[in-house]
Structure 1
């Protein structure tokens, strides 16, 4: 009511001024433009209709004030007959004309042009729906691109990507992939960082305190009666060195002598440092094995609840306690659970059975199965 009374008073005074020959009508209008309401302005449509807007309003605010559809289809504006930018600040008394187009649609810049709550709310609503549609497409694009990098799109990888690209939400991530601002090169950089982080994470877990050893090594291998040499574990002719008298089971290395072939020394032999320093090219690795056992490969699948130190506990049982070699190790986590596959090389089924029994005793492991 107060607003309507104010407009009526302003119009009455304007009419009086126009009818008074002694009054300069232009000066009168200029005087009243900003003084009637300090927080409001009054502008006209091309047909002469009066519209009230907050002080600081723009042509875009005016468009949404007329009708939402007019605002949505705004392409440009004229003020007092002149084409002006959509972020122009309107003044009381201005005549405002909105130019519309069926092809026009709100964009992100409009939020910088609009000041009224009505206009901004409508613009944000349209942008949200558009962003969600683009993000849905972007999510599927991201899934395919990560798959080519051997990475699954899950809660863990999404959270790491949001952090890596310095974003706030997963919606921002999917949207940027959808519009192409996160491209293949950037995703390859993330994949490299993600894989390196996993390797580092694995190594850190490997350094944790080992599981207490509760298995007697003699239960696994009753004797060591054969020496093998090099990475290929070849069976070669050798002689035991008399300076340190190695026996089966000792940590040893081979030294290729000029006249006596391979001489086997203990690693803590008094002559070991001298031989390894001066004749490194003649040193060959060696180890004792049980000739009655034949190695073969087996795949083990593990599932359970993920917890800190789990991988370290698993590798401790396999390598440090059971003294079993691993050829491959692959783990993935999802929502607090894990699934892993390990390829081991064992000497007989008894060792494999003992290994699976001890893996089942680790906290967090639910199931251990030989594939």
Structure 2
């Protein structure tokens, strides 16, 4: 590296000094190609030790990089003689204590009986009561508030360095994170890739900058942990072939006593909650929800009674026969799948002793068979569906054409034995989707209705919920 220093005889006026330094910069860069990555502007923001200068690196005539330092006479004196030269230019008089401080230092150094280093240690902080100056191993100087710790210094340099900090070497000696720094200390930060920010760090640091960075790092770390915990939970659901329902999970989290979702996922991340237990409780929550919904008994189903298991002539196994004319245990149709006459069904003995009738393709059927196979009872419909209607919800999706809702309701009204109970349609960006609840007697009439709805112009999909 070859360097050239240009010193200007400028008047000690900050604005004029900057202007003339940048004029020199313009002349140099007009003649030689500069490296913009190597520009160091300590004119606009001087270093903490008062150093002011403008450094640029240009390509020399022989193809070698040359550093050019541009400064004024005043700046050069500060660089060579230190901050005392800066105060002399500022015109500071004895009333600030500077003259007395310099005189006492001179006298102490002239006295051969005194230990010069101890004297300097005694005096060096007199003018810097509110801040300390520390060095990196490379000699870079940093200014920190008085009382700053090793951890403050690490975060002052960079957030990533602070987050990985495990301690430091101060003047060659290993110290802890909470070690307070003194002016003149040379600090080498030690890191570990396994280190992560801790909540307790907030009590160690003294600077607001470090506290802000620690809080931000903790927040980001918690967010990552929660995202990983949720992903792990959903993966477990997938492995068990269970459907993950956000609303059901929220009710479960509330029932478990958690005030917010954050605490729930934090315990999963900390492994204080067993995911398998959560899955079991989730299934229980689903059952609770189904039991709650099944308390609503439709008039058309009030007459239904369930006969105890009877022997069928065509089978050696006991099968529950569902018939409105039979007397016995009362049963309810499960709301999770809404079975109707003609569906393949099975019975499930609930904890309370009642029986719920589910469709064979119910979303919860697999889990029930795997976990509670001993409570499954075969069942079939008996008799005919004449005079009996069941509520069925259809999901309809399509283009938002004019009159499409009228066409849909018109088809339903024309069907014998089918009545529209409720309709909810949402339209967005030319598309519509919604749920239709109809009263229907059996699967045959339902399939006929679905086929007719699919023929309506604009309807793209009709499915049973």
TM-score (norm 1): 0.49
Name which structure has the greater RCO, CA cutoff 8 Å, separation 6+.
1
TM-score (norm 2): 0.41
